[in-house]
Structure 1
Amino acid sequence: MLDTTSLTAAVDRFADRLRAAPQSRLRRGAAAEALALARELSVRAQRLEAPGEEPRIMPDAGVFAVADQLTVAAEDLAEALRTAPSVGELDEAVRSVERVARRVTL
Protein backbone atom coordinates (compact mmCIF):
# COMPACT_ATOMS: atom_id res chain seq x y z
CA MET A 1 0.00 0.00 0.00
CA LEU A 2 1.29 3.47 -0.94
CA ASP A 3 1.92 5.84 2.01
CA THR A 4 0.19 9.11 1.16
CA THR A 5 1.11 10.89 4.39
CA SER A 6 3.35 13.36 2.55
CA LEU A 7 0.38 14.55 0.48
CA THR A 8 -2.11 14.84 3.31
CA ALA A 9 0.44 16.52 5.60
CA ALA A 10 1.36 19.13 2.96
CA VAL A 11 -2.31 19.86 2.28
CA ASP A 12 -3.17 20.03 5.97
CA ARG A 13 -0.44 22.64 6.55
CA PHE A 14 -1.60 24.75 3.62
CA ALA A 15 -5.29 24.39 4.51
CA ASP A 16 -4.57 25.51 8.08
CA ARG A 17 -2.87 28.63 6.72
CA LEU A 18 -5.89 29.30 4.50
CA ARG A 19 -8.30 28.91 7.41
CA ALA A 20 -6.30 31.42 9.47
CA ALA A 21 -5.95 33.96 6.66
CA PRO A 22 -7.97 37.18 6.65
CA GLN A 23 -10.71 37.54 4.08
CA SER A 24 -8.80 40.30 2.30
CA ARG A 25 -5.86 38.00 1.59
CA LEU A 26 -8.12 35.20 0.46
CA ARG A 27 -9.85 37.55 -1.96
CA ARG A 28 -6.54 38.88 -3.33
CA GLY A 29 -5.81 35.56 -4.95
CA ALA A 30 -5.02 33.01 -2.25
CA ALA A 31 -8.45 31.41 -2.49
CA ALA A 32 -8.32 31.28 -6.28
CA GLU A 33 -4.89 29.61 -6.18
CA ALA A 34 -6.11 27.11 -3.60
CA LEU A 35 -9.26 26.35 -5.59
CA ALA A 36 -7.20 25.73 -8.72
CA LEU A 37 -5.04 23.32 -6.72
CA ALA A 38 -8.10 21.57 -5.27
CA ARG A 39 -9.50 21.19 -8.77
CA GLU A 40 -6.19 19.77 -10.00
CA LEU A 41 -6.06 17.20 -7.18
CA SER A 42 -9.71 16.32 -7.75
CA VAL A 43 -9.14 15.71 -11.47
CA ARG A 44 -6.10 13.55 -10.68
CA ALA A 45 -8.19 11.44 -8.31
CA GLN A 46 -11.00 11.05 -10.81
CA ARG A 47 -8.61 9.99 -13.56
CA LEU A 48 -7.23 7.25 -11.32
CA GLU A 49 -10.69 6.13 -10.18
CA ALA A 50 -12.40 6.25 -13.58
CA PRO A 51 -9.91 6.31 -16.45
CA GLY A 52 -11.46 7.34 -19.72
CA GLU A 53 -14.33 9.23 -18.11
CA GLU A 54 -14.55 13.00 -18.27
CA PRO A 55 -13.62 14.43 -14.86
CA ARG A 56 -16.10 16.70 -13.11
CA ILE A 57 -14.79 20.13 -12.11
CA MET A 58 -15.07 21.08 -8.46
CA PRO A 59 -17.36 24.11 -8.08
CA ASP A 60 -16.32 27.38 -6.49
CA ALA A 61 -17.95 27.31 -3.04
CA GLY A 62 -16.44 30.62 -1.93
CA VAL A 63 -13.31 31.87 -0.24
CA PHE A 64 -14.21 30.47 3.18
CA ALA A 65 -14.79 26.94 1.87
CA VAL A 66 -11.65 26.58 -0.21
CA ALA A 67 -9.52 25.08 2.59
CA ASP A 68 -12.12 22.36 3.09
CA GLN A 69 -12.39 21.77 -0.66
CA LEU A 70 -8.62 21.38 -0.84
CA THR A 71 -8.64 18.92 2.04
CA VAL A 72 -11.43 16.84 0.50
CA ALA A 73 -9.70 16.76 -2.88
CA ALA A 74 -6.44 15.62 -1.26
CA GLU A 75 -8.21 12.90 0.72
CA ASP A 76 -9.92 11.69 -2.46
CA LEU A 77 -6.59 11.57 -4.28
CA ALA A 78 -4.92 9.81 -1.35
CA GLU A 79 -7.64 7.16 -1.37
CA ALA A 80 -7.37 6.73 -5.13
CA LEU A 81 -3.60 6.32 -4.79
CA ARG A 82 -4.09 3.65 -2.13
CA THR A 83 -6.18 1.57 -4.53
CA ALA A 84 -4.18 2.40 -7.69
CA PRO A 85 -0.68 3.16 -6.39
CA SER A 86 1.44 5.53 -8.44
CA VAL A 87 4.53 6.93 -6.78
CA GLY A 88 5.00 9.33 -9.68
CA GLU A 89 1.46 10.66 -9.31
CA LEU A 90 1.93 11.05 -5.56
CA ASP A 91 5.23 12.90 -5.98
CA GLU A 92 3.72 15.24 -8.59
CA ALA A 93 0.76 16.02 -6.35
CA VAL A 94 3.00 16.79 -3.35
CA ARG A 95 5.19 19.06 -5.51
CA SER A 96 2.08 20.89 -6.76
CA VAL A 97 0.84 21.48 -3.22
CA GLU A 98 4.24 22.69 -2.02
CA ARG A 99 4.67 24.97 -5.06
CA VAL A 100 1.28 26.65 -4.57
CA ALA A 101 1.75 26.91 -0.80
CA ARG A 102 5.07 28.73 -1.34
CA ARG A 103 3.62 31.04 -3.99
CA VAL A 104 0.54 32.08 -2.01
CA THR A 105 1.07 34.95 0.41
CA LEU A 106 -1.08 34.62 3.51
Structure 2
Amino acid sequence: MLDTTELTAAVERFADRLRAAPQSRLQRGAAAEGLELARRLALWAQRIEEPEAVGDEGGRIMPDAGVFAVADQLLVAGTDLAEALRTAPAGSREGELGEAVRLVRDAAARSGL
Protein backbone atom coordinates (compact mmCIF):
# COMPACT_ATOMS: atom_id res chain seq x y z
CA MET A 1 0.00 0.00 0.00
CA LEU A 2 1.14 3.50 -0.83
CA ASP A 3 1.85 6.08 1.86
CA THR A 4 -0.46 8.93 0.86
CA THR A 5 0.46 11.21 3.78
CA GLU A 6 2.14 13.78 1.53
CA LEU A 7 -0.95 14.03 -0.68
CA THR A 8 -3.39 14.40 2.19
CA ALA A 9 -1.14 16.98 3.85
CA ALA A 10 -0.93 19.05 0.65
CA VAL A 11 -4.72 18.90 0.18
CA GLU A 12 -5.32 19.87 3.82
CA ARG A 13 -2.94 22.85 3.54
CA PHE A 14 -4.65 24.17 0.42
CA ALA A 15 -8.12 23.61 1.91
CA ASP A 16 -7.09 25.45 5.08
CA ARG A 17 -5.83 28.37 3.01
CA LEU A 18 -9.11 28.48 1.09
CA ARG A 19 -11.08 28.49 4.36
CA ALA A 20 -8.99 31.36 5.71
CA ALA A 21 -9.11 33.46 2.54
CA PRO A 22 -11.34 36.52 2.41
CA GLN A 23 -14.37 36.39 0.13
CA SER A 24 -12.81 38.89 -2.28
CA ARG A 25 -9.77 36.65 -2.79
CA LEU A 26 -11.97 33.61 -3.31
CA GLN A 27 -14.03 35.47 -5.89
CA ARG A 28 -10.92 36.66 -7.74
CA GLY A 29 -10.05 33.12 -8.69
CA ALA A 30 -8.81 31.19 -5.68
CA ALA A 31 -12.13 29.36 -5.30
CA ALA A 32 -12.29 28.58 -9.03
CA GLU A 33 -8.77 27.13 -8.85
CA GLY A 34 -9.76 25.01 -5.84
CA LEU A 35 -12.95 23.78 -7.52
CA GLU A 36 -11.14 22.87 -10.73
CA LEU A 37 -8.62 20.86 -8.70
CA ALA A 38 -11.37 19.20 -6.65
CA ARG A 39 -13.16 18.18 -9.84
CA ARG A 40 -9.97 16.79 -11.33
CA LEU A 41 -9.09 14.81 -8.21
CA ALA A 42 -12.66 13.48 -7.90
CA LEU A 43 -12.67 12.24 -11.50
CA TRP A 44 -9.26 10.66 -10.99
CA ALA A 45 -10.54 8.77 -7.95
CA GLN A 46 -13.64 7.66 -9.88
CA ARG A 47 -11.48 6.28 -12.69
CA ILE A 48 -9.47 4.24 -10.19
CA GLU A 49 -12.45 2.99 -8.21
CA GLU A 50 -14.97 2.50 -11.03
CA PRO A 51 -13.18 2.41 -14.39
CA GLU A 52 -16.07 0.62 -16.07
CA ALA A 53 -18.62 3.15 -14.78
CA VAL A 54 -16.64 6.23 -15.80
CA GLY A 55 -15.87 5.11 -19.34
CA ASP A 56 -16.30 7.59 -22.18
CA GLU A 57 -18.86 9.66 -20.31
CA GLY A 58 -16.20 11.18 -18.10
CA GLY A 59 -17.69 10.43 -14.68
CA ARG A 60 -19.69 12.50 -12.26
CA ILE A 61 -18.69 16.17 -12.13
CA MET A 62 -18.49 17.83 -8.74
CA PRO A 63 -21.01 20.71 -8.68
CA ASP A 64 -20.16 24.31 -7.97
CA ALA A 65 -21.50 24.75 -4.43
CA GLY A 66 -20.15 28.28 -4.02
CA VAL A 67 -16.92 29.91 -2.93
CA PHE A 68 -17.39 29.04 0.74
CA ALA A 69 -17.84 25.30 0.07
CA VAL A 70 -14.84 24.76 -2.19
CA ALA A 71 -12.42 23.99 0.65
CA ASP A 72 -14.64 21.15 1.85
CA GLN A 73 -15.11 19.91 -1.71
CA LEU A 74 -11.35 19.87 -2.21
CA LEU A 75 -10.79 18.03 1.05
CA VAL A 76 -13.35 15.35 0.15
CA ALA A 77 -11.98 14.88 -3.37
CA GLY A 78 -8.37 14.79 -2.20
CA THR A 79 -9.13 12.32 0.57
CA ASP A 80 -11.05 10.09 -1.84
CA LEU A 81 -8.15 10.08 -4.29
CA ALA A 82 -5.62 9.36 -1.55
CA GLU A 83 -7.69 6.39 -0.39
CA ALA A 84 -8.13 5.10 -3.94
CA LEU A 85 -4.39 5.31 -4.54
CA ARG A 86 -3.58 3.79 -1.13
CA THR A 87 -5.80 0.75 -1.66
CA ALA A 88 -4.95 0.14 -5.33
CA PRO A 89 -3.10 -3.08 -6.08
CA ALA A 90 0.57 -2.85 -5.12
CA GLY A 91 2.74 -1.16 -7.71
CA SER A 92 -0.15 -0.24 -10.00
CA ARG A 93 -0.46 3.45 -9.06
CA GLU A 94 2.88 4.47 -7.52
CA GLY A 95 3.74 7.01 -10.21
CA GLU A 96 0.39 8.73 -9.82
CA LEU A 97 0.94 9.76 -6.20
CA GLY A 98 3.73 12.20 -7.04
CA GLU A 99 1.66 13.62 -9.89
CA ALA A 100 -1.28 14.21 -7.56
CA VAL A 101 0.89 16.02 -5.01
CA ARG A 102 2.33 18.20 -7.79
CA LEU A 103 -1.17 19.08 -9.06
CA VAL A 104 -2.25 20.18 -5.59
CA ARG A 105 0.86 22.30 -5.02
CA ASP A 106 0.63 23.88 -8.47
CA ALA A 107 -3.05 24.75 -7.99
CA ALA A 108 -2.32 26.28 -4.60
CA ALA A 109 0.43 28.40 -6.14
CA ARG A 110 -1.81 29.55 -9.00
CA SER A 111 -4.53 30.49 -6.52
CA GLY A 112 -2.21 32.97 -4.84
CA LEU A 113 -2.87 31.46 -1.41
Q: Does 1:9 align with 2:16?
A: no
Equivalent-residue separation in structure 2 for 1:97 and 1:52 (angstroms): 26
- One-letter amino acid matched to 2:4: T
In the TM superposition, what is the alpha-carbon distance from 1:49 to its structure 2 partner? 0.1
Which one of the candidate residues 92, 108, 112 is aligned to 1:105? 112
Runs of 4+ with deviation above 6 angstroms: none
The equivalent residue for 2:98 is 91
Q: Does 1:34 align with 2:41?
A: no
Greater shift, 21-30 or 77-86, is seen at 77-86
The equivalent residue for 2:84 is 80
Q: CA RMSD in A?
A: 1.0
The size of the alignment, in residue pairs, is 106
In the TM superposition, what is the alpha-carbon distance from 1:91 to its structure 2 partner? 1.1
Aligned 1:17-32 pairs, distance under 5 A: 17-32=17-32
Equivalent-residue separation in structure 1 for 2:97 and 2:19 (angstroms): 24
Equivalent-residue separation in structure 2 for 1:88 and 1:60 (angstroms): 30
In the TM superposition, what is the alpha-carbon distance from 1:103 to its structure 2 partner? 1.3
TM-score, reference length from structure 2: 0.90
Give the share of equivalent positions with the same residue, in percent: 74
Aligned 1:46-85 pairs, distance under 5 A: 46-54=46-54, 55-85=59-89
In the TM superposition, what is the alpha-carbon distance from 1:92 to its structure 2 partner? 0.9
Residue by residue, what CA displacement relative to the aligned partner does 1:18-60 show, whole Å, maximum 9, x if unpaired?
A: 1000000000110001000000000000000011322100001
Equivalent-residue separation in structure 1 for 2:45 and 2:95 (angstroms): 13
Unaligned segments of structure 1, at least 5 residues: none
TM-score, reference length from structure 1: 0.95
- One-letter amino acid matched to 1:59: P
Equivalent-residue separation in structure 2 for 1:33 and 1:60 (angstroms): 12
